[in-house]
Structure 1
Amino acid sequence: MKLGARILKTGFAITIALYVADLLGLESATYAGIAAAFAIQPNIYRSFQTMLEQIYANIFGVGIGAMVVFGLGNDPIVIGFTIIIVIALCMNFKMNENTVALAIIAVLAVMETTEMLLLNFAGVRLSALTLGILSAFSVNMLFLPPRYELRLFKSIDQITSDILQWLRISTRHLSDDPALRTEIDRIETEIRHIDHTYLLFSEERIYFRKTRMPKMRKLIIFRQMINTSKKSLATLYAFHQYDDKVENIPKEFQNVLVDELDKIIYSHERLLLSAMGKIKKKPTKSIEEITDPDIPHLVETLIHVYEQDEKDRLSLLPLASRLMEYHKEILHLQRILNSYQKFHEHLDFNFKKKSRKILP
């Protein structure tokens, strides 16, 4: 069983909320724990946004609940009607589901039968709920802050390696169709998860002017890395779709196709390694001549094949189109990465763990 940071944060937030409520002598410590559980968010920006939103929702819930109890009592039908009003207000302000649920809890908390004075009772409940929200926000800020940059790059690096590995196998007609289809589905799911992680990373606020520009450029590079990986997946899918037709074309074109695709794959891998600072930023000219793909040469070879065989001349054009799109994304990634390394030479995407110094 794997315990993620958010699970641990939820447990700590509830613990802190209950302890503080006990120290302050609040009789509604349970409500503080419930509020803390609902307020945990995946990043600091959403945590702050949720904190304000849920405080407003609690004020709505407690305030409206207290007024209804004063005027109509706390009959179950009245409570149900009050909850409908509070939900409508929250929806009107476009609050999320957790906030709406917490507002409902606030209504139920203040409208339950009690012997205390209503205003004092409502104040205690509001204080307990607010304490839970503040406890969750404090834990989000101080305990295990999320490192979405590291997680995002590792995910992109891993999923790209998987795609390129299957591309190499597919171009040599060694892949098993059911296994490849399963892998494509898995990779598509992983890319959707990467898109979500990128959204969380982009939401993180930049508080220092010095780090603002590097962070903005990193966002652009990450977005392009994801787009390039998606194009490589589209190329893999195209090879899977046209595998039988590629196998039946002349050997001359098959060899050119495999050679040029290997160069594209190497170019993609080289850019990721360059981003991590693991290879030279300016390779020698001879290396570039060997490894840089020549897509125009590939298209010319394809046209030559079509001129010899009029029967099925357009069957592989979609595959050639996928390769050209993939190559275009790689060139764009190379340009923006070179620009980043030019202006921020000492800020590579290098996430290697710092080596510990061994004392003599």
Structure 2
Amino acid sequence: MAFGARMFKTGLAVTLALYLTQLLGISSPVGAAIAAIFAMQPSIYRSWRYFLDQIQTSTLGAILAMLGGYFLTNQPIAVGLVCILVIMICIKLNMGETIGLTLVTVISVMEASGQWDFAFNRFFLTLIGIISAFLINILVFPPKPKDQYFKQINSVFDKMSLLMRTAISHEIKDSVYRDEMNSLEGSIKSIGDKYNLFEEEQKKLKRAKYSHSRQLVVYKHLLISLQKGYEVLNAVENHYFQAKRSGEIDEQFDAHLEHLIKFHEHILWKFEDKLKPNVDEADTMAEKNEAFMDQVICGAGTEPGGFRMTIVAAAMYDYGHTLDRLNSVADHISRFVEKKNNGGDILAWLKR
């Protein structure tokens, strides 16, 4: 596992929380450290939302815990009942992500069994931990999910390109291929999680700019293109080698995969302003995609086991169709940025 900024910041947040509790002369600082660990979030927006939501649910949980501890004492069944009530309230308020830390607060406060000073001390520790994590997250290596998104897109594409260019020739060892496929699947899922962050922020911010909506469209198409490429690799692994085929068919499929991955590469170069818009290439690719599917249906698809070949060809056709749409988005955004910024950098605009 690679050492990342979030790991480092979690450690810093715990350190800050512990130092603050020492400066304030508060005993048993473990609660603040636990709160800091829970409160570290992957984006500034989510960190701010978590901060606000956690303050509300922790306050509510502490009040219920103090009342429960006062009237019911700290018997296990009483603690369990208050925890159930707090979970129900958090879910009702659509603040499910705060349940874990809120329950820690409830249990800590109920330990006081009606001793208000001790209960307030436990609640205050939770606030110190939340605030420490929030401050560290926005001040130290603030999250830049958009920069990370495009770095991951290029990294995943490079890995997928290697697998796709050797999928038919079967040059990679089986064990290595499986490991690379698993790694590719995890990386695409990670990109999907980052896209969900953008989408969540877009939906929650009522005054989001129209340009942000355009950016979201680009992010989505970039993600879908990788997902479709992964589906091609899955189809090849599950169906291609189980079907009867000739050397000519292998060359046909391998050549078309090369055309697709090269087209994908050129589209990504457009987003990086390394390549001019090329309408001819897009038209040629669309024609090749149609011709390839027709050839498979009329040729390999009629052979014994041809249904499997058709499944692989359909996945490749779908991938090509997705790339055609991504290319249209790239050309459209290029014209938009050029008109808006009098010739600006597409990638810089997407990362704003």
Q: Could you say which TM-score interval applies, normalised by the shorter chain?
A: 0.7 to 0.9
Superposed CA deviations along residues 64-116 of structure 1, whole A, max 9, x for unmatched, are 2222333343445544443443344334444436x3333333233333359xx
Query: In the TM superposition, what are the counterparts of 1:161-176 in structure 2 within 5 Å?
Result: 161-176=158-173
| C-alpha deviation, 1:325, in angstroms | 0.9
Q: Distance in 2 between matches of 1:176 and 1:58?
A: 53
Which residue number corresponds to residue 345 of structure 2? 347
The count of aligned residue pairs is: 342
Which of 235, 248, 272 is the aligned partner of 2:268?
272
- Asked if 1:13 corresponds to 2:13, the answer is yes
| C-alpha deviation, 1:151, in angstroms | 1.7
Which residue number corresponds to residue 358 of structure 1? none
Is the 8 Å Cα contact of residues 44 and 204 (structure 1) preserved in structure 2? no
TM-score by length of 2: 0.81
Larger relative helix fraction: 2
| C-alpha deviation, 1:10, in angstroms | 1.9
Is the 8 Å Cα contact of residues 214 and 344 (structure 1) preserved in structure 2? no
Q: Distance in 2 between matches of 1:338 and 1:301?
A: 30
- Amino acid across the alignment from 1:260: H
SS at match of 1:294: helix
| C-alpha deviation, 1:6, in angstroms | 1.8
Is the 8 Å Cα contact of residues 286 and 321 (structure 2) preserved in structure 1? no
Which residue number corresponds to residue 341 of structure 2? none
Is the 8 Å Cα contact of residues 45 and 203 (structure 1) preserved in structure 2? no
Q: Distance in 2 between matches of 1:278 and 1:284?
A: 16
Identical columns (%): 29
Q: Distance in 2 between matches of 1:139 and 1:343?
A: 37
Is the 8 Å Cα contact of residues 41 and 47 (structure 1) preserved in structure 2? yes
- Amino acid across the alignment from 2:319: Y
Which of 324, 327, 333 is the aligned partner of 2:326?
333
Which residue number corresponds to residue 282 of structure 1? 277
Which residue number corresponds to residue 309 of structure 2? 316
1:247–1:86 CA distance, 2 compared to 1 (3 A)? same
Superposed CA deviations along residues 3-41 of structure 1, whole A, max 9, x for unmatched, are 322222222222323333344444564433332222111
Which residue number corresponds to residue 293 of structure 2? 299
Which residue number corresponds to residue 218 of structure 2? 221
Q: Distance in 1 between matches of 2:74 and 2:318?
A: 65
1:184–1:301 CA distance, 2 compared to 1 (3 A)? same
Unaligned regions of 5+ residues in structure 1, if any? 352-360
Which residue number corresponds to residue 189 of structure 2? 192
- Amino acid across the alignment from 1:342: R
- Asked if 1:133 corresponds to 2:130, the answer is yes
Q: Distance in 2 between matches of 1:93 and 1:140?
A: 25
Is the 8 Å Cα contact of residues 266 and 291 (structure 1) preserved in structure 2? no
Is the 8 Å Cα contact of residues 163 and 232 (structure 1) preserved in structure 2? yes
Q: Distance in 2 between matches of 1:148 and 1:69?
A: 43
- Amino acid across the alignment from 1:339: H
Q: Distance in 2 between matches of 1:260 and 1:247?
A: 16
Query: In the TM superposition, what are the counterparts of 1:240-255 in structure 2 within 5 Å?
Result: 240=237, 241-243=239-241, 245=243, 247-248=245-246, 251=248, 254-255=250-251
Moved more, 134-143 or 65-74: 65-74
| C-alpha deviation, 1:128, in angstroms | 2.8
Is the 8 Å Cα contact of residues 13 and 129 (structure 2) preserved in structure 1? yes
1:155–1:246 CA distance, 2 compared to 1 (3 A)? farther
Superposed CA deviations along residues 153-182 of structure 1, whole A, max 9, x for unmatched, are 222222222222222223335344454344
| C-alpha deviation, 1:342, in angstroms | 0.9
Q: Distance in 2 between matches of 1:245 and 1:30?
A: 61
- Asked if 1:101 corresponds to 2:106, the answer is no
RMSD over equivalenced CA pairs, Å:
3.4
- Amino acid across the alignment from 1:100: I
Is the 8 Å Cα contact of residues 169 and 254 (structure 2) preserved in structure 1? yes
Is the 8 Å Cα contact of residues 164 and 265 (structure 1) preserved in structure 2? yes
SS at match of 2:269: helix
- Amino acid across the alignment from 2:60: F
| C-alpha deviation, 1:276, in angstroms | 1.3
Moved more, 6-15 or 256-265: 256-265
- Amino acid across the alignment from 1:198: Y
Which residue number corresponds to residue 142 of structure 2? 145
SS at match of 1:282: coil
Superposed CA deviations along residues 122-142 of structure 1, whole A, max 9, x for unmatched, are 333333322221222122222
TM-score by length of 1: 0.80
Q: Distance in 1 between matches of 2:300 and 2:78?
A: 77
1:135–1:320 CA distance, 2 compared to 1 (3 A)? same
Unaligned regions of 5+ residues in structure 2, if any? 339-343
SS at match of 1:8: helix
| C-alpha deviation, 1:328, in angstroms | 0.5
